[in-house]
């Protein structure tokens, strides 16, 4: 599946893309830029996402207790907890990071939970400059402020500036994950009217799937056959008077296919912020295969009767780095046997992907794997931790893109938003290295390094012969290996040598600039293009 925004805040879409056999426990997802598809890089950016195939099956609903429709008194209690949210936002353009975009307005939904907190989606309030909210029984709009945002699981907590907002309000309690085939009520403020809306649907599937907001993260989702329209995002899914999920995205394939964030993800987020900070999800940081041939088993001394998944790569900076090795067969996690398809039996009567057990952990908690390595069975334990390099691959919000301009040449750390903006500007000649280094970021670099790309120039006589190096990754400046953007600035700015030599990866000749002439040119370029000195 690939997940993308439509042009209205508070709504996400889901589309189908081809599947691959190799799974990645970092759960990468990528964007759907038409320009990139024209460049035939669709398979590069989407290789790590596993598409879901929809199966039709018969469900005996009589065996599942039906959630009663809310009675008038109960409905009024719930409605007093649901909030219409208006957001005025302004983002930055990664391609021209010295410029701000226009201010746009959008709407979404939220609801009150214990502690006078408002729960909604992160994508509802991303890049917000001003937020206001109004409950169903109110006539006045109240200013809201963001307290916590989790872009990796598309959740946010807000609070009202004025205590009057909470007058005569109720908070909603969180329930359990809804059962397959059970009905839920989706409550919110979708487009088409100003009043609160309630739609009912059936939970038709529960599985790990991609979250469109960050474009790389994957967590548990519940699919529901209710209409989830723009503006519904952030609204509660109610069952037996309790919240069983948060509406957040919908499908472009098929009718009335929506998705809610289940309560296990919500509770994980709320527990994470108890100490006043959001740390984010941990990542095991491996690629693995679920299909192992007999010849593979024989070569790796894996018994025929042993099930599990085969480690095909271990990523630098991930939890498993230094503990697991390529060729290890993982046959259990925290005592739960792993099947050949990568699932474990959980709660006696259901199966989940083994990565969901990692999703449930917090930074510092122990992961224990049972493995077979070179024919020897052993246990390995290591602490769960974040994979910081993933931030490069995520879509970013509320973010000032760092950049450096010298002689009108614009440099920036490699990131997803830059790649998306760049692909739309028709300046993609020689961009194969850009695409390759982006896709292989986790395997080619460690967490301490940034890859700096020369991706555009502001025309000036000083840089008229620089096109040959466009869209290439910086490697060295005057024989000093570059670690990050600040290091790059330092190497350009210091020194008294007459010339500056910028070396790029996979190119034998450097870009050569006359130091003093380049400095003087940059002063003129700042004035011509209204750049702030960097």
- Read off the DSSP letter of residue 116: T
How far apart (Å, rounded) are the C-alpha atoms in residues 215 and 210?
7
Burial category of 490 from C-beta neighbours within 10 Å (exposed 0-12, middle 13-18, buried 19 and up): middle
Strands 197-210, 12-15: parallel, antiparallel or unpaired by DSSP? Answer: unpaired
The answer to whether 223 and 201 have CB atoms below 8 angstroms apart is no
Handedness of CA 305, 308, 311, 317 (dihedral sign): negative
Structure-token pair, residue 173: 């309690």
Strand partners, 373: 376
How far apart (Å, rounded) are the C-alpha atoms in residues 454 and 427?
12
How far apart (Å, rounded) are the C-alpha atoms in residues 420 and 424?
7
Which residues fall within 8 angstroms of residue 275, CB to CB, at 6 or more apart?
Answer: none
Which residues fall within 8 angstroms of residue 138, CB to CB, at 6 or more apart?
Answer: 165
How far apart (Å, rounded) are the C-alpha atoms in residues 408 and 526?
8
Structure-token pair, residue 504: 């790029």
How far apart (Å, rounded) are the C-alpha atoms in residues 260 and 221?
6
- Read off the DSSP letter of residue 324: B
The answer to whether 137 and 166 have CB atoms below 8 angstroms apart is no
The answer to whether 48 and 285 have CB atoms below 8 angstroms apart is no
Which residues fall within 8 angstroms of residue 459, CB to CB, at 6 or more apart?
Answer: 408
How far apart (Å, rounded) are the C-alpha atoms in residues 110 and 158?
9
Q: Which residue has the tokens 């098929």?
A: 254
How far apart (Å, rounded) are the C-alpha atoms in residues 336 and 343?
10
**Residues noted as catalytic:** 123, 154, 233
How far apart (Å, rounded) are the C-alpha atoms in residues 265 and 221?
9
How far apart (Å, rounded) are the C-alpha atoms in residues 402 and 396?
12
């Amino acid at each position: 599946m690939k997940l993308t925004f439509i042009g209205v805040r508070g709504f996400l879409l889901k589309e189908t893309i081809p599947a691959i056999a190799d799974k990645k426990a970092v759960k990468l997802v990528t964007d759907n830029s038409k320009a990139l598809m024209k460049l035939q890089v669709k398979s590069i950016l989407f290789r790590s996402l596993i598409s879901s195939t929809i199966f039709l099956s018969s469900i005996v609903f009589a065996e599942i207790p039906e959630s009663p429709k809310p009675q008038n008194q109960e409905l009024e209690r719930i409605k007093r907890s649901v909030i219409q949210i208006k957001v005025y936002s302004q983002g930055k353009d990664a391609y021209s990071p010295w410029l701000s975009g226009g201010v746009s307005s959008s709407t979404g939904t939220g609801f009150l939970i214990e502690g006078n907190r408002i729960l909604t989606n992160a994508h509802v309030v991303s890049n917000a400059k001003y937020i206001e909210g109004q409950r169903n029984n109110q006539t006045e709009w109240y200013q809201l402020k963001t307290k916590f945002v989790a872009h990796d699981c598309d959740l946010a907590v807000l609070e009202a500036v004025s205590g009057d907002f909470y007058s005569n309000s109720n908070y909603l309690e969180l329930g359990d994950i809804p059962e397959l085939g059970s009905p839920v009520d989706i409550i919110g403020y979708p487009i088409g009217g100003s009043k609160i809306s309630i739609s009912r649907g059936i939970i038709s599937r529960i599985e790990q799937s991609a979250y469109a907001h960050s474009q790389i993260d994957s967590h548990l989702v519940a699919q529901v056959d209710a209409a989830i329209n723009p503006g519904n995002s952030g609204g509660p899914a109610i069952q037996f008077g309790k919240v069983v999920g948060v509406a957040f995205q919908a499908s472009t394939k098929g009718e009335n296919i929506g998705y809610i964030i289940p309560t296990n993800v919500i509770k994980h987020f709320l527990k994470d912020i108890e100490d006043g900070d959001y740390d984010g999800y941990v990542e095991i940081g491996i690629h693995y295969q679920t299909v192992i041939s007999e010849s593979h088993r024989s070569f790796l001394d894996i018994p025929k009767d042993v099930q599990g998944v085969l480690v095909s790569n271990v990523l630098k900076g991930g939890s498993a780095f230094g503990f697991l090795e390529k060729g290890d067969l993982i046959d259990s996690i925290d005592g739960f046997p792993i099947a050949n398809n990568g699932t474990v039996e959980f709660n006696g009567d259901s199966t989940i992907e083994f990565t969901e057990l990692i999703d449930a952990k917090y930074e510092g908690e122990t992961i224990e794997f049972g493995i077979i390595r070179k024919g020897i069975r052993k246990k390995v334990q290591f602490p769960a931790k974040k994979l910081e390099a993933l931030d490069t691959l995520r879509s970013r919000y509320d973010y000032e893109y760092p950049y450096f301009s010298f002689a009108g040449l614009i440099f920036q750390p490699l990131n997803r938003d830059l790649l998306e903006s760049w692909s739309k500007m028709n300046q993609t000649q020689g961009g194969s290295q850009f695409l390759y280094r982006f896709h292989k970021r986790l395997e080619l670099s460690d967490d301490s390094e940034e890859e700096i790309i020369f991706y555009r120039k502001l025309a000036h006589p000083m840089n008229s012969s620089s096109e040959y190096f466009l869209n290439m990754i910086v490697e060295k400046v005057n024989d000093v290996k570059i670690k990050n953007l600040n290091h790059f600035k330092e190497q350009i700015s210091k020194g008294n040598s007459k010339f500056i030599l910028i070396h790029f990866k996979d190119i034998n000749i450097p870009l050569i600039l006359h130091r003093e002439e380049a400095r003087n040119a940059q002063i003129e370029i700042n004035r011509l293009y209204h750049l702030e000195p960097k």
